[in-house]
Chains A and B, each alone.
Chain A
């Protein structure tokens, strides 16, 4: 077969899949880059002072208005929960329960106010806490400096408070502990995960809240109540329990207000809302509509409240609180200050000037952030940034000019007021537009792209299926399946490029490539469809065969139905959240079912019984063939492997009662020395056993009899690799203090041994790539005239056989050659040990890869790898055995059940090597195998962690060709 078309075709299919996945991801996975910079008191953002006002001591950027603040977060406090409508005759369970807010807002309109608090999606608690403290829009993936920990790396309100010497006290949801490690002056964390538990967190907070408030040892107090959220999850909002919970919150707020001093700001906020079923996470109106209540004993507002509560975005809280408390605004904030809180007691002009100064600070900070963000990432559109920049500089200039005029007292109040008003409007416009630009690129799904990506991937799957059917039947396969589609795709890309040139818009590479992919797919399907009728007519020209062909086809389809049904079930399970969570158990279940089904079908078709002799037919008895026991043993081994592999599971946080497998932790974490030694010896014995098994398998099937470098490598390199891994494990699992003086040596060894393994493995893979033959090969070109040596008597010894048989073989080959390839002078290679000539190379490559991947995992997961190899081996054996029993003659056609069981085994071992498709379950340690300190680039750790994560898929996909090893096994 031609080599380049195949490679090109595979590359093209890869491109199709990547384009589809990329398109989907660009619509679904919102990403943002975290900036490491943080604001400080000395940043030159302060506007020019007016009326000679200077900052009082202890204030940064703006004069401090409150020395203390209490932030009460009531999880999932929807706006409707906080609103009080006295006219309502029969309120729902969640309505009119927070009476204290209404009472405060009506009796002291200049002290208290209720707002609609718009949360940005995703409305999950952790993302909301991030938003409420950094003033930014957290996405699902915040690309930061450190993936491995939850801790917020970005500049945030708490960091600013701590940096400026404030004491932050926290009580409630223990999510904060992970997000802000070691930031709190004092903290009372309560477990948050059990959503069925309505009271632990709330009662815990209530126990500590008032004593802490009264003690006065704090500057910022955060209390995060979870009861309302949990009540929503358990009962939904429309339930008497919710009424009780809200009444409890009401009582809590009532007494809290009594405990507050005059210099304290009280903020009551919901981090998100909830739907009618009590869920949250999406971007529906009810989920994003939370409540915010502001109160202080000193007057806050210049005027009374508006009729309808104002709507403010959640990010606005951060700059407001920061400036009210006199600390710098966090660096990445994109919120806008709530200016009415800064108006103070003076007349309108001084209030407006004060507001202008905070707006000025805010705008400068946002501008600084946008500037630094656009330097590291290109996801904000350039022209809009340009526009914002212009707006900002003109507004600031005007502000400076205005201040100069105010100082020169050249302006009279009416004109001054209008100019102040318009300037405030321009600042607001700038801040809102800046936020809108960020929201557009960070907090919005693109459903069209998601659907497009799904369609593209589904069409690619269909294409693969069609291509696999076509490849065997069509002669002009590559012309129709590769050339034309590629031309179509290139044409599509070129057209798109031209269109872009004419419309002068920015070229999105991803969009162009997905359009190209779609066009080339259309090309493929079009040519396939055009060719299709011809073949149908050819079949139709033989009328007697048509009906039987139809029945046969129907039967073939029925045979396909079972494995395909299981495949479709697995695909469908991806759309169910519960099945995604339980996938670690679904994949083995389906695999076991598929294999049992295979055995059942073989039995049903009578392939397992010996053909009935007339006598037996008379009695109606049947008996099994002998090799059925072999098959049954294989199936039993497979099932045991599948079950045992379940012991290496990792847990998802959705299942609280789950305990991760003990085998996942590295040996170094074991306290018991004897157990540690035992496990270590077992692991090393396992490695040695694997090498021994591979070598003896290769030798058994006639490999390793040439003197190629690869054979030498298998003989000597494999044990060396095992030795290095064993040494590395020994060094890595030893405790630090036990080695005393050898410390420095250990430091070297920890790096040197993995590198030795990397080096050896890559040498082995290179050798394999250069010369994959491990059998004795002989070129027959130069020895054209040789003949079989004369007969020397009866071949008595093995040596004689070794001498004679190759010659006979050669002679046969020559006669074949002279008959078939007369005139051509291509070299014919005679190889001995043909049974495993293909599979030996694969086995060697897989073993090497297996060693590499085992090195990246924790020591005891090598048991899982052993199971993996065993299961793969058994699967192939079952496959060959079943084919043998079913009497299938065609060696290179792979039935669908084999492919699907292979796929299921791959995903089963993804879970059984201690992985889960969630971020906390990624084995970050893998990035530091062979590297003592941090990496300079991101590429290498990404490769290592990726290899660790997809170990099972690499090993299974690396041997994607079941028939080749299977062929070897059955010879």
Chain B
């Protein structure tokens, strides 16, 4: 059962990674002059929307959280609204943290916000999909021995990888190489994206190799 689930996880993650690659390639057929670096904001939007949509679809298709009790339509709506609010709040929070880390306050607000949206898509949206709008579950997952399924382990890994990627993405900015990708926020968003993709690929492998040690607490 575990092997099968790992395979499902791998497939889902590969699909996500593939979708990111496609967002860099496909839009250039429809949009005139589209490149990831040149029209970075467009790409940020496209990537966030695609990854977000794919995550939601995968979540609905695979149902990794296996919520035991059926909920009414009104509950579902309220859950959905809560999710939306959480996502928006996380965007604002990421924006604030990015500015506190030294991003320009007034200039290029759009860029910063879209970068925050991208980061939220890579981190918060995943949490929302897998854990639902349940802060206590989030707290549990992001502490040692807190993961209860391979999906949650994967969530840990991808989230940490995305944020680390964004952090490392800031490093080349001061260098005087005069490359187009050193402009704010391109290097950071690329870093986050590569970190996320790396996380997606590492997660199933890591879980596979450590499947003996990983004994999840059953409910």
Q: Is the pair B136, A622 in contact by a Cβ cutoff of 8 Å?
A: yes
Asked if B144 is at the interface (CB within 8 A of a chain A CB), the reply is yes
Q: Is the pair B137, A593 in contact by a Cβ cutoff of 8 Å?
A: no
Q: Is the pair A604, B143 in contact by a Cβ cutoff of 8 Å?
A: yes
Say yes or no: A621-B174 contact (C-beta < 8 A), given A593-B167, A603-B143, A605-B143.
Answer: no
Of residues B137, B143, B174, which shows the largest number of chain A Cβ atoms within 10 Å of its Cβ? B174
Chain B residue with the shortest CB-CB distance to A579: B174
B139, B143, B175, B217: the one contacting A578 at CB < 8 Å is: B175
B144, B170, B175, B219: the one contacting A606 at CB < 8 Å is: B144
Instruction: Give, as a whole number of angstroms, the nearest-CB distance from A526 to chain B.
Output: 40
In the bound complex, residues from chain A placing their C-beta under 8 Å from that of B136 are 621-623
A18 to B100, CA, bound (A): 37
Instruction: Give, as a whole number of angstroms, the nearest-CB distance from A580 to chain B.
Output: 9
Say yes or no: A576-B175 contact (C-beta < 8 A), given A589-B101, A642-B100.
Answer: yes
**Residues 135-192 of B at the A interface (beta carbon under 8 Å):** 136-137, 139-140, 142-144, 146, 148, 167, 170, 173-176
Q: Is the pair A624, B174 in contact by a Cβ cutoff of 8 Å?
A: no
Q: Is the pair A620, B101 in contact by a Cβ cutoff of 8 Å?
A: no
Q: Is the pair B143, A592 in contact by a Cβ cutoff of 8 Å?
A: no
**Residues 600-633 of A at the B interface (beta carbon under 8 Å):** 603-606, 609, 618, 620-624
Interface string of B98-126 (1 = CB under 8 A from A): 01111000000000000000000000000
Asked if A639 is at the interface (CB within 8 A of a chain B CB), the reply is yes
Of residues B100, B137, B143, B148, which shows the largest number of chain A Cβ atoms within 10 Å of its Cβ? B100
Asked if A252 is at the interface (CB within 8 A of a chain B CB), the reply is no
**Residues 22-76 of B at the A interface (beta carbon under 8 Å):** none
Asked if A588 is at the interface (CB within 8 A of a chain B CB), the reply is yes
B101, B143, B217, B219: the one contacting A609 at CB < 8 Å is: B143
Q: What is the interface of chain B mostly: helix, strand, loop, or mixed?
A: loop
Asked if A297 is at the interface (CB within 8 A of a chain B CB), the reply is no
Say yes or no: A639-B219 contact (C-beta < 8 A), given A622-B139, A624-B139.
Answer: no
Q: Is the pair B175, A609 in contact by a Cβ cutoff of 8 Å?
A: no
Chain B residue with the shortest CB-CB distance to A641: B100
A643 to B175, CA, bound (A): 21
B100, B139, B170, B173: the one contacting A643 at CB < 8 Å is: B100
Instruction: Give, as a whole number of angstroms, the nearest-CB distance from B3 to chain A.
Output: 24
In the bound complex, residues from chain A placing their C-beta under 8 Å from that of B173 are 582
Q: Is the pair B140, A643 in contact by a Cβ cutoff of 8 Å?
A: no
A605 to B144, CA, bound (A): 6
Asked if A29 is at the interface (CB within 8 A of a chain B CB), the reply is no
Q: Is the pair A643, B142 in contact by a Cβ cutoff of 8 Å?
A: no
Interface string of A41-61 (1 = CB under 8 A from B): 000000000000000000000
In the bound complex, residues from chain B placing their C-beta under 8 Å from that of A640 are 100
How many residue pairs bridge A and B at CB < 8 Å? Answer: 62
Instruction: Give, as a whole number of angstroms, the nearest-CB distance from A589 to chain B.
Output: 5
A605, A618, A622, A642: the one contacting B140 at CB < 8 Å is: A622
B99, B170, B174: the one contacting A581 at CB < 8 Å is: B174
In the bound complex, residues from chain B placing their C-beta under 8 Å from that of A646 are 102
A603 to B160, CA, bound (A): 13
Of residues A578, A605, A622, which shows the largest number of chain B Cβ atoms within 10 Å of its Cβ? A622
B144, B176, B217: the one contacting A577 at CB < 8 Å is: B176
**Residues 561-583 of A at the B interface (beta carbon under 8 Å):** 576-579, 581-582
In the bound complex, residues from chain A placing their C-beta under 8 Å from that of B137 are 620-621
B97, B101, B174, B219: the one contacting A582 at CB < 8 Å is: B174
Say yes or no: A592-B100 contact (C-beta < 8 A), given A576-B175, A578-B175, A620-B148.
Answer: yes
Asked if A426 is at the interface (CB within 8 A of a chain B CB), the reply is no
In the bound complex, residues from chain B placing their C-beta under 8 Å from that of A603 are 139, 142-143
Asked if A586 is at the interface (CB within 8 A of a chain B CB), the reply is yes
In the bound complex, residues from chain B placing their C-beta under 8 Å from that of A578 are 174-176
Asked if A286 is at the interface (CB within 8 A of a chain B CB), the reply is no
Q: Is the pair A639, B100 in contact by a Cβ cutoff of 8 Å?
A: yes
Q: Is the pair A643, B99 in contact by a Cβ cutoff of 8 Å?
A: yes
In the bound complex, residues from chain B placing their C-beta under 8 Å from that of A606 are 143-144, 146
Asked if A65 is at the interface (CB within 8 A of a chain B CB), the reply is no
Q: Is the pair B142, A604 in contact by a Cβ cutoff of 8 Å?
A: yes
A686 to B97, CA, bound (A): 28
Q: Is the pair A585, B100 in contact by a Cβ cutoff of 8 Å?
A: no
**Residues 268-316 of A at the B interface (beta carbon under 8 Å):** none
B101, B146, B175, B217: the one contacting A592 at CB < 8 Å is: B101
Say yes or no: A622-B102 contact (C-beta < 8 A), given A576-B175, A578-B176, A582-B174.
Answer: no
Chain B residue with the shortest CB-CB distance to A639: B100
Instruction: Give, as a whole number of angstroms, the nearest-CB distance from A954 to chain B.
Output: 25
In the bound complex, residues from chain A placing their C-beta under 8 Å from that of B174 are 578-579, 581-582, 585-586
A640 to B100, CA, bound (A): 6
In the bound complex, residues from chain B placing their C-beta under 8 Å from that of A576 are 175
In the bound complex, residues from chain B placing their C-beta under 8 Å from that of A577 are 176
In the bound complex, residues from chain B placing their C-beta under 8 Å from that of A609 are 139, 143
Interface string of B74-106 (1 = CB under 8 A from A): 000000000000000000000001011110000
In the bound complex, residues from chain B placing their C-beta under 8 Å from that of A588 are 102
Instruction: Give, as a whole number of angstroms, the nearest-CB distance from A243 to chain B.
Output: 23
In the bound complex, residues from chain B placing their C-beta under 8 Å from that of A642 are 100
B-to-A contact residues, CB < 8 Å: 97, 99-102, 136-137, 139-140, 142-144, 146, 148, 167, 170, 173-176, 217, 219
12 A-B interface contacts by CB (under 8 A): A576-B175, A579-B174, A585-B102, A586-B174, A592-B100, A592-B101, A603-B142, A604-B142, A606-B146, A621-B136, A639-B101, A643-B102
A-to-B contact residues, CB < 8 Å: 576-579, 581-582, 585-586, 588-589, 592-593, 603-606, 609, 618, 620-624, 639-640, 642-643, 646
| Known interface pairs A605-B144, A646-B102; 12 further A-B residue pairs with C-beta atoms within 8 A, sorted by A's residue number | A582-B173, A585-B174, A586-B174, A589-B101, A593-B167, A604-B144, A609-B143, A622-B139, A624-B139, A639-B101, A643-B100, A643-B102
Going nearest first, the 7 A-B pairs with the smallest beta carbon separation are A582-B174, A639-B100, A621-B136, A578-B175, A606-B143, A578-B176, A622-B140
